[in-house]
Amino acid sequence: MESIITFFREMVPGGAAMGWGAIVSCVGTAFSYLIGWNDVIEALLVAMAIDYVTGILAAYINPNLALNSQKGFKGICKKIVILLLVALAHELDRATGRPAVQSLVVWFFLGNEGLSIVENAAKAGLPIPGKLRATLEQLTDKNERTVQK
């Protein structure tokens, strides 16, 4: 019986682990409430992480680029703004009762992150097929024109 009690005592976190668990739990709950949770949002978060890591790796690999903490912080700020826009879209969906706006916003930014990942791969020296490179350049040009309007 004593070994069972010892086993359960070791399973229950204490001190700092419990505090961090509470913080992560609260952040996760708030995030889920504000943004909602589905596979597409999960894909967006994964793409954001991959984009950030590939950007760092491209700067490390490419001698013409340099790691820049200011640029990295700016990238994180942009990703936070994206998540705030997704949260706003989620609230619009809840207000209208139609799940359309958030899907549109998430798919747009998921595509944008995908393009950025491919661009980072090209900067790191990986071969990108000519057709894909031309398509990326076209999409980048269209995106810049749309933003300028």
Q: What is the pLDDT of residues 12-33, one digit of tens each?
A: 777 777 788 888 888 888 878 8
Angstrom CA distances, 111 to 34, 35, 105, stand at 22, 18, 10
120 or 145, greater pLDDT? 120
Question: Confidence band (pLDDT; 50, 70, 90) for 94?
Answer: very high
How many residues can be counted in the chain? Answer: 149
Q: Print burial letters for 98-128: b (CB count within 10 Å at least 16), e (below 16).
A: eeebbeebbeebbebbebbbbbbebbbeeee
Exposed (0-12), middle (13-18) or buried (19+): which is 149, by Cβ within 10 Å? exposed
Model pLDDT for residues 109-120, shown as the tens digit of each residue: 998 998 899 989
Q: pTM for this structure?
A: 0.75
pLDDT tops 70 at residue 143: no
